[in-house]
Amino acid sequence: MTQNAGKFLFVALAFAALAVVPFVGGSFTVDLVTKIMIYAIFALSLELLVGGTGLVCFGQAAFFGIGAYATVLLTPSGAPASLWWLLPACIALAAGYALLVGALSLRTQGVYFIMVTLAFAQMAYYVVHDTPLGGGTDGIYLDDKPSLLPALLPALELRQPLVLYFFIWLCLGATFAALALLLRSRFGRALLGIKVNEQRLRAAGFSTYPYKLAAFTISGGIAGLAGSLFAIKDGFVNPELLSWHLSGAVLVMIILGGLGHLRGALLGAFAFALLQEFFKSEAVFGAFAKHWHLGLGLTIIVSVALLPNGLMSLGRLPAQWRERRERQARPAREVQP
């Protein structure tokens, strides 16, 4: 089996397993996996920047939160909004803010770029935290979930957990496929060149700024999609959706899964969320469950130490161990005088 065929098989089996979950799991499992799939879309948005372009953004939660708040604020009172204009509007607003942030922050590099993106994210956080626009610290509720196909298929409403689950499943699959095609295109090869050696591209007369700005804007739009889906699922938003804690969490997800791989973003999102639920379980840890951050942090440290390339490197461990045994069993060559 070729490497590309193996990658395709892994992704196909993963999405097939997700499609089976609602039919074998209970309501808690469906709700948890729905939330994780939203986080997976969010992780894919940051993977495009960090893993695909080499830009470490520490303000990704701002675009996620803008998508979530736009969903609530654009929904008319007393009537559900149509999903077919609401979702694109939320994506456009998040992408628009990403365009503004990227146009300014991409003029810096390294740690300065990280700090500028964090500063813009904190500005957006305080707008919804300290003004009536976002309801302050209390947040705001979504009056009604948007309608999907009210005229053609009234039974397919996002109020139903199963319908919402498969709609998010489709969004995750479409996002993954779109990014896979994007990274294989000429545009994606340009981003890879920027990640590997941007200075060499500039010396060759290649303008890198428009490519980085386009990648930053696309990443913000995808994060806005994830935020909008999160607001639809929970029916409630608060300023914590724009906090730096969430930006740090999604960065940990893609590092845990393995940078430079879209599959790694999926693995990292699921691993991070499942570990979080595991350490929060009072049935397993009892009173220690309230200190779940400690257990989660130690597990991530051990994982990164043992698997510096993330969970994606697990599949290569048997081959590496076999090569190591073969080298040890091979007789040492005599040194010629």
Amino acid at 325: R
296 burial class (0-12, 13-18, 19+ CB within 10 angstroms)?
middle
Beta-carbon neighbour count of residue 307 at 10 Å? Answer: 15
Q: Is the pLDDT of residue 155 over 70?
A: no
What tens digit of pLDDT does each residue of 98-141 get?
A: 999 999 999 998 899 999 999 999 999 999 988 888 888 888 98
38 burial class (0-12, 13-18, 19+ CB within 10 angstroms)?
buried
- CA dist 10 and 8 (Å) reads 5
Number of H helices, E strands in the chain: 13, 2
Q: Is the pLDDT of residue 62 over 90?
A: yes
Confidence band (pLDDT; 50, 70, 90) for 37?
A: very high
Q: 140 forms bridges with which residues in the sheet?
A: 237
Q: What are phi and psi of 82, to 5 degrees?
A: -75, 130
State the pTM of this model.
0.91
Token readout for 150 is 């009210």
DSSP E strands in 86-147: the ranges are 140-141
